[in-house]
């Protein structure tokens, strides 16, 4: 067991319930030993829900679904990130035209990024769920920039149609208020503090 897992008193396997390469990289950055198990969940949740309820409900569903797939005790970590503009939840774009519309609406505007995280013990079913909110301001984008980004294929696996880490989308962002890692997809300080609380 490595030092951070000793520090956090984690003595059972850790499972990341996400296929996101960004979340995988962030957990590796913390130095945690984990494996990935992804379960398909229905993400067609009522978008009239408050954003914090929407993202935490999805993160809970992901963790519980993975717990059903294993027969041993593990600490399951799941997360769901959404982008909200003018009170409307913006999910992943499904077409080039939708991606253009999303990015054009974010241009020269400030939006919110919510990430819900869930910790779940697969045996005891002890659970802790929380969320983080950050504010992201885009500079004004021109059509050529938006189309070039869409042609790269990058928008289609990201909430709001953009990424900020290891991605051309980083040059769209003028300012962030709040946790940078929340915008990437996993608020690390919240995750660390939540695990400490969960393990106590």
Residues, the chain, total?
200
Tokens standing for residue 53: 């309820």
8 Å CB contact between 162 and 103:
yes
**Is 28 a residue whose pLDDT tops 80?**
yes
Tokens standing for residue 105: 């609406």
At 2 the pLDDT is 66
For residue range 168-190, list pLDDT tens digits in order: 889 999 999 999 999 999 999 99
For residue range 63-107, list pLDDT tens digits in order: 999 999 999 999 999 999 999 999 999 888 999 999 999 999 999
**Is 35 a residue whose pLDDT tops 90?**
yes
The yes/no answer on whether domain 3-199 falls in CATH 3.90.950.10 is yes
Residue with tokens 């379960």: 39
Element (H, E) at 199: helix 188-199
Mean pLDDT of 28-42: 91
**Phi/psi at 118 (nearest 5 deg)?**
-130, 135
Tokens standing for residue 193: 């503090």
For residue 35, list its beta bridge partners: 15
d(CA 155, CA 121): 33
Q: Specify whether 40 is catalytic.
A: no
Element (H, E) at 63: helix 51-69
Name the residue ranges covered by the structural domains of the chain: 3-199
At 121 the pLDDT is 98
The overall average pLDDT reported for the chain is 93
At 99 the pLDDT is 95
For residue range 105-116, list pLDDT tens digits in order: 999 999 999 999
8 Å CB contact between 167 and 154:
yes
Query: Active-site residue among 11, 42, 80, 157?
Result: 80
Choose between 106 and 41: higher pLDDT: 106
The beta strands (E) that lie in the chain are given as: 14-16, 35-36, 75-85, 88-90, 110-121, 127-138, 173-177
User: Whole-model pTM?
Assistant: 0.92
């Amino acid at each position: 067991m490595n030092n951070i897992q000793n520090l956090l008193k984690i003595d059972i396997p850790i499972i990341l319930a996400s296929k996101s390469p960004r979340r995988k990289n962030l957990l590796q950055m913390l130095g945690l030993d984990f494996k990935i198990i992804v379960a398909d969940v229905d993400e067609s949740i009522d978008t009239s829900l408050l954003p914090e309820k929407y993202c935490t409900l999805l993160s809970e569903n992901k963790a519980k679904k993975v717990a059903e797939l294993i027969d041993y005790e593990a600490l399951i970590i799941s997360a769901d990130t959404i982008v909200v503009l003018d009170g409307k939840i913006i999910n992943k774009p499904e077409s080039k035209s939708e991606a253009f519309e999303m990015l054009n609406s974010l241009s020269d505007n400030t939006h919110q990024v919510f990430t819900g995280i869930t910790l779940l013990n697969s045996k005891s079913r002890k659970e802790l769920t929380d969320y983080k909110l950050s504010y992201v301001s885009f500079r004004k984008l021109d059509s050529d920039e938006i189309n070039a980004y869409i042609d790269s294929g990058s928008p289609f696996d990201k909430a709001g149609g953009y990424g900020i880490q290891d991605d051309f989308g980083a040059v769209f962002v003028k300012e962030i208020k709040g946790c940078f890692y929340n915008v990437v997809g996993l608020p690390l300080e919240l995750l660390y503090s939540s695990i400490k609380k969960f393990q106590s």
